[in-house]
Structure 1
Amino acid sequence: MLKTKKFILSEQNAEMVADLIVETLQQLSVEPEEILKIRLSMEKALDSWMEKGLAPNTGELIIQTRLKKVQITLKVQGKEANPYEQNDDDQFGDAFFSQPFLAAIGSGSGCGYVYSKGMNIVSANIKHKASNPFLPIAIAVLLALVAGVTTHYLPLEVSEFILNQVAAPLFDKFTSILTTVICPMLFFAVVWGIYHIGAPNRLGSVGKKVLWHFSGILIGMTLLGGIAASVFTKVHLPSAGAEGIQSESIFQLLLDAIPENMIDPFQNGNAIQIIVLAVLVGMAMVLLQHRISIAGQLMEQCSAISQCIVGFFATISPFFIFLSIYRLLAGNYIPLLLYMLQMAGVYLLCMAIVFLLYLVSVRVKEGISPLRILKIIMPSTLLALVNASSSAAYSVMRNNCDKKLGIDHRLSKFTISFGSVVFKPAAVVHLILLTVFCAKAYEVKITIGMLVITMIVSFVLASAAPSVPGGLLAGYAVLFVQAGIPAEALGLAVIADIVMNALDAAINVFILQLEVFHCAKRADMLDPPGENTSIYNA
């Protein structure tokens, strides 16, 4: 397939080019998350070229498929103008959506910029969506069910041999390799995120306020998840000398978070110590910004390598899920399913509370009817639910904020783009509850220390972990190793996540649009009531 489109660089044509890219990639069944990242990168290039005076020069969009890849090339004639270099006058921080940022959040696009023969060229390569990603997992689950039931009808010696001498060693080896990989991934993701976000002028004044506001929402959702976990599960309070309960304190928890050396946290899979190390290294790199450019590039490349390795696990995760479900069935550990249903019920209760609180805030803070707000944002929320992706609702959210909520398009463009990629408040509650209920199912004692660590690690995973294939499996492995939960629960956790991911996406879209509306009201970037703003119309 070859599609070309020549255009004159302008604001209207830039939007047309972006829409054409999205439409073509959707026809080629590319993942919504990848489509969004490509759109952000290309929109950034077009906007930057217009700001640097290349309008109304001629340009060309070329989209072609080769083998199993889609190649997108965007050309604009004129003087050399790197669209991804930092602009010190950038109020919002659009330069945040540059090559390094998209690489850090798991973009496999391979975006690049070159200047050749009077043409500014941005190109990206994307893999075709090979097949329905849920199909291999569904097949693995069905095969595991058949194999697990069949095992119970085999002679005892045969069933024990298959379970203990074949399935168990393979599963243990897989989990050990996964643990080896996820620790560096978590370290590089946190370090590179701090270094990139904390760089001087990386985010403009408005962008920094949005970042802090989003961080506050994530902290609030983390506390909600922790409170729900403590209410619906048995959390052991510190009690020195009590039989069977580990004596601990917040002070001891802080001491344990400090690693004795640089090696032990990675050998033992201690996520909280890895996070502490990553934060220290990231902050040091921010302070030494202009003196460690090579180290920054090295960290970026190491992050990309670790993501690539973690992505490999996506291709073999069905085999891992098969072994996990098979061990659960063969080992007669069916009650775990009941605890997953309990977890889902608590999660839905938490999200219902969040939903109601936001509607109340709209009435109290903004003086607007909640029903009117719901009429505007619910279609995008349902779209995210159906597609199990907040990225799929990006265009509808932008239209809501710009035309129906009356938000300044500069603010909505940055916040919706930034939020769609990295803002995952519902996922924090999901991670905490799933970890705690799995611990309850396996009779792992839930102490205050374990709950606090789970909350911290969940917060970091939801805000810093890259969205690469296999990333969720790695994230759960971090939490389960830290909490002492047996590894065979990972397979069922991944299956539960597939179901919960759709709910996460819908809630994230709902929260994001209301938070952008609140931010616009505080920043006085909301259009006054008028005929062109739907939110104020009767």
Structure 2
Amino acid sequence: MKDKRDFRLEIASIESAGDYVRDILKQYKCTDRDMVRAQLFTEETMVYWTETANEGDILQINVRKRFKTISLSLSYRGAQSNPLAISDEEEDETEFSFIGQNILIGLSTVTYSYENGYNVITFTLKEKGTNPVILIIFALAAAIICGLIVNRFAPSLGPGLSASILIPLSKAFFGLLNAIVIPFLFLSVIASIFNMENIAQMKRIFRILFSWFLGLTAMSAVIAVLAGMIYFPLQNGASTGVNEVNIWTQIAKMLFDIIPSNIFQSFLDGNTLQTIFLAVITGITMLVYKGRFPVISKVVSESNLIFSTMLDAICSLMPWVIFICIFDMLLSGDGRVLLSSIAVVVLICICFLLIVLLCLLSVALIEKQNPLQYIKTIGPVLLIALSTASSSATFAPHSMIASNKQGIRDYLANFSIPVGALFAKPFVVPVLLLMTLFVGNFYSLTFTAADVVSMVLLCVILSVAVPPVQGMGIFLFTIIFKRFTIPLEGLAMAASLFMLFDYLMTTGNVFSINISMLHTEQRLREKDKRVIVYNNQKC
């Protein structure tokens, strides 16, 4: 299915072009968030191209749907003009705003090409589907009901059904997922770095902002580690077995193991940290030579899109896999895991509460603000995040509240909010760590303190390095489970709870973005004051 329309490439046509895109995507049943992103994509591209276009130039908008993937393409004939690139001569505030909006759009889903005199930029999005949380709840309920019925009325069928159908199906799914994980991780990290070229020009703000992102993530990691060590039994580091190393030796081994001795072997072994290291080095190298090898850049962008689509397709089967795995657990007599998961859910919620309280304490001590008044100010943004589980949906109200009510400069808000959606994920770490310990404990695996510390380091790295894409939960747990030899059958329970926590995690991450942005503004004001004092003394 394909729709296309021509518009004059001028400012007066922007509104009608945006309306056309919105109306078409409504027909394709896209989400409200994706329609907003698509309109922003269209408007920003047209604004950029009108600056260099000649009078009478025509912009063509193509919307094409294949299966559940929708491609929105904008093209016009003229001199090469890449909307994703920014001239070094542009003003700082415009640059901050432009980059922030591009990150909001999702650079991993945007590609640009210049062929046969035509500029073509394409934005890929998905057709609106059923809320995944509803599907997960339905799969869990159906698995429990079926398991109870079979155990009550036909218990002899259980072993045969499990061995001949359920286990082979789950193994086939996890094998396919395992094959996609490493190449997707490699390409997504490269794409994230490659498309953030101009952050290097923003050292003043990005350094302060990113230090707050990492600081809150580190605080979250410490709270999660303490909770895990208190609740889950740890193996004595001096005991015999595979974990017979002291904590510093194991951490040092993990850090030195990041550097691969063979590039291809790291992919064959599925070594996550080595893959991330190679991706970072490759991404930085591509930045240095950006524009020199356009074919390679295009291959990376298109490959990332291909593997992202494949991961989406695999993750769409997750409700079925959850049904199969939970059903198999009940047939095997392991239904107690469902009840025991309540305790870890409560533990994760306690960790969330502690993180929030410490953040509010920083507001009181650093900003000299009343925490209750602060919550009242950003409450509307948090309610949107809680109801939609989408950080993108909060962009407009978050920017408005930050600028109008919190006194944060516009370019800082326009840059911090979308960048935070990529890097500020402190509320993801407790869920990753505690669910991993919970599943490992269920399978009778014990971990030393060194294991827990290296585990949380991996969780922090993954939470920062991996972009927030659909299916991120099962993707992250697959990597962590492989690293610590936890059976992949436990992914069903871990991924289910991860998706159920998605609303709270998104709300918490948006909250942490605002905290980081607020403290960054305070630091910038202090620096501005020092500059003014210095200039006055000089005069």
TM-score after normalising by structure 2: 0.81
Shift of the 460–374 alpha-carbon distance from structure 1 to 2, 3 Å rule, reads same
For the Cα contact (< 8 Å) 1:444–1:484, is it kept in 2? no
Amino acid at match of 2:217: L
For the Cα contact (< 8 Å) 2:382–2:510, is it kept in 1? yes
Amino acid at match of 1:442: Y
Aligned to 1:247: 245
For the Cα contact (< 8 Å) 1:44–1:94, is it kept in 2? no
- CA deviation string 1:178-202 (max 9, x = no partner): 11221222233334434544x4765
Aligned to 1:163: 162
Listed as ranges, the matches of 1:229-240 within 5 Å are 229-239=228-238
Deviation at 1:222, TM superposition (A): 2.6
- CA deviation string 1:427-483 (max 9, x = no partner): 122211211222223221122332233222222322222333333212111112222
Aligned to 2:524: 523
Q: CA-atom RMSD, angstroms?
A: 4.2
For the Cα contact (< 8 Å) 1:36–1:391, is it kept in 2? no
Aligned to 2:506: 505
For the Cα contact (< 8 Å) 1:9–1:58, is it kept in 2? no
Q: Secondary structure at the match of 1:236?
A: coil
- Could you tell me how far apart the structure 2 residues matched to 1:231 and 1:15 are? 57
Deviation at 1:280, TM superposition (A): 4.6
- Could you tell me how far apart the structure 2 residues matched to 1:498 and 1:288 are? 39
Aligned to 1:9: 11
Q: Is the counterpart of residue 152 in structure 1 residue 151 in structure 2?
A: yes
Listed as ranges, the matches of 1:342-381 within 5 Å are 342-381=343-382
Q: Which of 347-356 and 76-85 deviates more?
A: 76-85
Deviation at 1:495, TM superposition (A): 1.6
For the Cα contact (< 8 Å) 1:408–1:526, is it kept in 2? no
For the Cα contact (< 8 Å) 2:111–2:301, is it kept in 1? no
Q: Secondary structure at the match of 2:125?
A: strand
Deviation at 1:401, TM superposition (A): 1.0
Shift of the 524–40 alpha-carbon distance from structure 1 to 2, 3 Å rule, reads farther
For the Cα contact (< 8 Å) 1:104–1:300, is it kept in 2? no
Amino acid at match of 1:299: V
For the Cα contact (< 8 Å) 1:424–1:462, is it kept in 2? yes
Q: Secondary structure at the match of 1:488?
A: helix
- Could you tell me how far apart the structure 2 residues matched to 1:275 and 1:69 are? 28
Q: Which of 254-263 and 22-31 deviates more?
A: 22-31
Q: Which of 420-429 and 276-285 deviates more?
A: 276-285
- Could you tell me how far apart the structure 2 residues matched to 1:16 and 1:364 are? 49
Aligned to 1:217: 216
- Could you tell me how far apart the structure 2 residues matched to 1:64 and 1:288 are? 33
> Identity of aligned pairs, percent?
22
- Could you tell me how far apart the structure 2 residues matched to 1:294 and 1:112 are? 12
- Could you tell me how far apart the structure 1 residues matched to 2:335 and 2:425 are? 31
Aligned to 1:314: 315
Aligned pairs, number: 519
Shift of the 2–271 alpha-carbon distance from structure 1 to 2, 3 Å rule, reads closer
Listed as ranges, the matches of 1:163-312 within 5 Å are 163-197=162-196, 199=197, 203-206=201-204, 208-209=206-207, 210-239=209-238, 241-242=239-240, 246-255=244-253, 257-258=257-258, 259=260, 261-282=262-283, 285=286, 294-312=295-313
Aligned to 1:536: none
For the Cα contact (< 8 Å) 1:428–1:459, is it kept in 2? yes
| Ranges in structure 2 where 5+ consecutive residues have no aligned partner | 530-539
Q: Secondary structure at the match of 1:235?
A: coil
- CA deviation string 1:74-119 (max 9, x = no partner): 68999764322232245455564698996664x3xx55476999x9
Aligned to 2:532: none
Q: Secondary structure at the match of 2:501?
A: helix
